[in-house]
Amino acid sequence: MRIERYSEQHDEDIRRLVREFQDESLAEYGMTFNEEALTRTIDEIKHWGFLLVVDGKCQGLLAGREVRTPQGDDKCWHEVIWFVNKDYRKYGLRLLEAGKAILKAEGFTSIVMVYMHNSKSDKLHRLYTRLGYKPMETNFIGRL
């Protein structure tokens, strides 16, 4: 098991993981990915993507975007997806910690993590609190 930066050699595994995330977390909200949208999403997040690789296959993905805070010029990293294949979820925290270490070394001063309310939100809330995160905002989605 190793953590590495995004690599196109794992592109098909990453697509599989994002589809699994879609099926597990987003489908009930009426969200669907098509291949074009999937490609666009991967292109947008790959610069700040971290992979959990086991036996040469990507089994987990932590990816996000750089944002500048309105309070100054601090670099903040905003998570877009943190998803680990069910069989490898015990390594999810290692993926997060390795990603945070890389981000800190590259000048980021803060990180925003999110979770879906249909994804064991109580458990994730406790995890983030235990790791020193503070609740910041809640989002709601509605169809137009």
pLDDT in tens, 21-32: 877 776 676 767
The first and second tokens of residue 102, run together, are 């890389």
Q: Where are the domains of the chain?
A: 2-130
The first and second tokens of residue 144, run together, are 């137009």
Extended beta strands in the chain, E state = 2-5, 49-54, 57-68, 75-84, 108-112
Q: What percent of the chain has pLDDT over 90?
A: 53
Q: Report the SS3 class of residue 22.
A: helix
Between 108 and 120, the higher pLDDT residue: 108
**10-25: buried (b, 16+ CB within 10 Å) or exposed (e) per residue?**
beebbbbbbeebbeeb
pLDDT of residue 120: 67
Are 56 and 40 spatial neighbours (Cβ–Cβ below 8 Å)? Answer: no
Nearest to 24 by CA among 119, 105, 108, 121: 119
Q: C-alpha 39: how far from its chain's center?
A: 16
pTM for the structure as a whole: 0.86
Domain topology for 2-130:
Aminopeptidase (3.40.630)
